[in-house]
């Protein structure tokens, strides 16, 4: 996941959290606040999925019933009579905080990795080594991993090595290293 995607997911969580808290704090039952929360649920749900947070509420064992999962099903679950999930709002807020913290941690980890020159060398080598299999996969309509594992894989590796050496040579000349 890219840094931009992480930032977009984090922003979606924050926007949903702020709108949800405003909706819960409103005593008048403003339909515009509810509509705002509803409009933000899809992106916040995708952001929670990206963070690996799956909101789930199980009914009490003694009562039984349906388990609710996912932000779209839980955001307004406390308003449904008979479910007995009165603590849903506080849990939704906690899930938002956990998702935001997880996305922040992943973004910081990615920033830290990008400062390491070996990250960029690894990215360059992966890109160069994957190009021949990728190009063949466009014509054969199969995954590059299957092509690399196929009998043609060993034939593509020397081609990839030549491309890699050429990229390093011409890249070095372009930067002025030699």
| Token pair belonging to 4 | 């931009």
Question: Stretch 81-85: mean pLDDT, rounded?
Answer: 60
Do 40 and 124 belong to one domain? no
72 and 126 in one domain?
no
Q: Cα separation of 152 and 121, whole Å?
A: 26
In the chain, beta strands by DSSP E: 56-57, 68-69
> Cβ distance 10 to 82 under 8 Å?
no
CB-based contact 59:67 (threshold 8 Å)? yes
For 38, counting Cβ atoms within 10 Å of its Cβ (0-12 exposed, 13-18 middle, 19+ buried), the class is: middle
Q: Are residues 15 and 85 in the same domain?
A: yes
Do 82 and 28 belong to one domain?
Answer: yes
Domain of 139, in residue numbers = 117-175
Those residues whose C-beta lies under 8 Å from the C-beta of residue 105, and which sit 6 or more positions away, are none
Q: Using CA atoms, how far apart are residues 128 and 126, in angstroms rounded to an integer?
A: 6
Identify whether residues 123 and 92 lie together within a single domain. no
22 & 100 share domain: yes
- Phi, psi values for residue 28, rounded to 5°: -85, -15
Q: Are residues 38 and 88 in the same domain?
A: yes
Same domain, 25 and 105: yes
Instruction: State whether 40 and 81 are in the same domain.
Output: yes
Residue 161 — very low, low, confident or very high, per pLDDT cuts 50/70/90? confident
More confident position, 40 or 136: 40
Residue 133 pLDDT: 60
Q: Are residues 77 and 41 in the same domain?
A: yes
Q: Looking at 67, 85, 114, which one is the last position of a domain?
A: 114
Pair 106, 132 in one domain: no
Please check the confidence at residue 159 and state whether its pLDDT lies above 60. yes
Report the chain's terminal Cα–Cα distance, integer Å. Answer: 35
Separation between Cα atoms, residue 75 and residue 93, nearest integer Å = 10
Quote the distance between the C-alpha of residue 151 and its chain's center. Answer: 35
Shared domain check, 63 and 46: yes
* Residue 134 pLDDT grade (very low, low, confident, very high; cuts 50, 70, 90): low
Query: pLDDT class for 63, splitting at 50, 70, 90?
Result: confident
Structural domain total, the chain:
2
Which residue would you say has higher pLDDT here, 12 or 135?
Answer: 12
């Amino acid at each position: 996941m890219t840094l931009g995607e992480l930032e977009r997911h984090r922003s979606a969580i924050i926007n949903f959290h702020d709108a949800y808290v405003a909706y819960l704090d409103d005593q008048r039952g403003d339909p515009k606040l509810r509509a705002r929360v509803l409009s933000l649920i899809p992106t916040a749900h995708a952001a929670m999925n990206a963070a690996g947070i799956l909101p789930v509420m199980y009914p009490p064992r003694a009562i039984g019933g349906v388990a609710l999962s996912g932000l779209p099903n839980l955001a307004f679950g406390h308003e449904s009579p008979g479910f007995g999930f009165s603590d849903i709002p506080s849990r939704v807020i906690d899930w938002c905080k956990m998702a935001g913290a997880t996305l922040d941690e992943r973004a910081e980890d990615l920033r830290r990795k990008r400062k390491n020159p070996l990250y960029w060398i690894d990215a360059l080598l992966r890109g160069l080594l994957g190009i021949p299999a990728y190009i063949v996969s466009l014509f054969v309509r199969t995954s590059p991993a299957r092509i690399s594992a196929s009998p043609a894989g060993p034939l593509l590796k020397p081609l990839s090595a030549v491309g890699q050496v050429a990229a390093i040579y011409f890249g070095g000349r372009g930067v002025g290293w030699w």
